[in-house]
Amino acid sequence: MSTIDAPERATPVVAGPPPRILLIQAPYYDGVVGGMKRGAERVLAEAGAHLETVDVAGAFELPAALRMAMEVAPGWDGYLLHGCVVKGETDHYQFICEAVCQGVMDISSETGIPLGFGLLTVESLDQAEARSADDRHNKGAEAAHALLTQIALARRWGIR
């Protein structure tokens, strides 16, 4: 783990009804993604949010599943994406990471949808486990914080 200590964050206050959140997760590394989900659940429970979860095969499928969810079931206040890509011996890691990040960014900037993006791109499973542990370094919790902040902003501006 890095010597940089993650900040402690207060759960964002979201005005209006409890947010409805869809978590789209790629549980290829089930223990890691499960840890991220537990971190997010903790934050979302503090905000009184309703969470539903769907699984996709891998990280590459996250952007397409996000687009499908937005088109088929548009009633969500925001979307949370979780996955993990561990670097291997080939270029596959770089291609997958770049494609997923670009796909999600394209959807996010095109639609303005509130989104929490929790894709771990790590050198080793040890790094992934450290970023999904039950502490303030949990990237699932950080993505949930980001999502709630975006939902609060969208509601403040009357977008959602």
Mean pLDDT of the chain: 94
pLDDT of residue 69: 97
pLDDT tens column, 96-105: 999 999 999 9
- Tell me the residue ranges of DSSP E strands in the chain: 20-25, 50-55, 78-86, 115-122
The angle, 0 to 180 degrees and rounded to 10, between the axes of the packed helices 30-46 and 139-156 is 40
- pTM of the model as a whole: 0.93
**How far, in Å, CA of 35 to CA of 55, rounded?**
15
Which of 50, 82, 92, 145 is an active site residue? 92
Count of C-beta atoms within a 10 Å radius of residue 81: 24
- Tokens representing 94? 């770089």
Report, as ranges of residue numbers, the positions in the chain whose pLDDT lies below 50.
1-3
Q: Is 92 a catalytic residue?
A: yes
Annotated binding site for 5-amino-6-(D-ribitylamino)uracil: 28, 59-61, 84-86, 117
Annotated binding site for (2S)-2-hydroxy-3-oxobutyl phosphate: 89-90, 131
Task: Indicate the domain borders of the chain.
Answer: 27-156
- Which superfamily is assigned to 27-156 in CATH? Lumazine/riboflavin synthase (3.40.50.960)
The amino acid at residue 158 is: G
The amino acid at residue 153 is: L
